[in-house]
Amino acid sequence: MLLIVIPARYASTRFPGKPLAMIGDKSMIQRVYEQAQSSTLADEIVVATDDERIYDHVAAFGGKVVMTAHHHLSGTDRCAEVASLFPDAEWVVNLQGDEPFIQAEQIDLLCRTLIASKGGIATLAKKITQEQQLFDANCVKVVCSQQGEALYFSRHSIPFVRGVKQADWLSKSLHNKHIGLYGFRREILLELAQLPPSPLELAESLEQLRWLDHGYRIAVGITELETVGIDTPEDLLDIIQH
């Protein structure tokens, strides 16, 4: 069984109430839910929230929703709580609640990458083609091994291309943007939820570095499709206007 969990919290610092923000005639969380439904590999889809307003809204449009604890520090921890309620789930996908334009092909690519992975964790990346992204600290970069597994994630531009002007880095070396979707073998997800924060994670403020720091392997699927995450009200306004 493959379970998709959509973590959705109301108290976002940069965008309070983000899951309930309207995009046209539907809320953001409903659009994410419907994109998950378009996956050909998902068996079950559940929204995980700690807020009654989100819970009631998801139930009203016919979605499946679970109320989770308030203390979770990450979407992964919230997913782990839900996964513990589904013992028949072999695979668990964490689909961010602020990705209303995620494509079914990307969700299915993540699922296939996960099922084929040796380490029981998978994520996605896309080749960077714009210099602005390469040097944007909000755009997380990932470098991979020749076996298609993550070696490191960073907010910095990696790899460093020695002896080449920065303006030429994209033409001289491969740079990949990390796309923040994750898939886990269920037992691995439950293990990850018990790990303490690591020095690398704290330095870069990237949760996935905790997993690498503790020796876990992360398979990376490469997509050619762009994603549009929404972090602030300005992001949403920009999308609506364009």
pLDDT tens, residue order, the chain (242 aa): 999 999 998 877 778 889 999 998 999 999 999 999 999 999 999 999 999 999 999 999 999 999 998 888 788 999 999 999 999 999 999 998 888 999 999 999 999 999 999 999 999 999 999 999 999 998 999 999 999 999 999 999 999 999 999 999 999 999 999 999 999 999 999 999 999 999 999 999 999 999 999 999 999 999 999 887 787 778 777 777 66
Residues 6+ apart with CB under 8 A from 70: 50
Phi, psi of 88 (to 5 degrees): -85, -10
C-beta separation of 44 from 1 below 8 A: yes
Which top CATH class is 2-123+178-237?
alpha beta
- Report domain extents, the chain: 2-123+178-237
Q: How far apart are CA 59 and CA 51, in angstroms?
A: 12
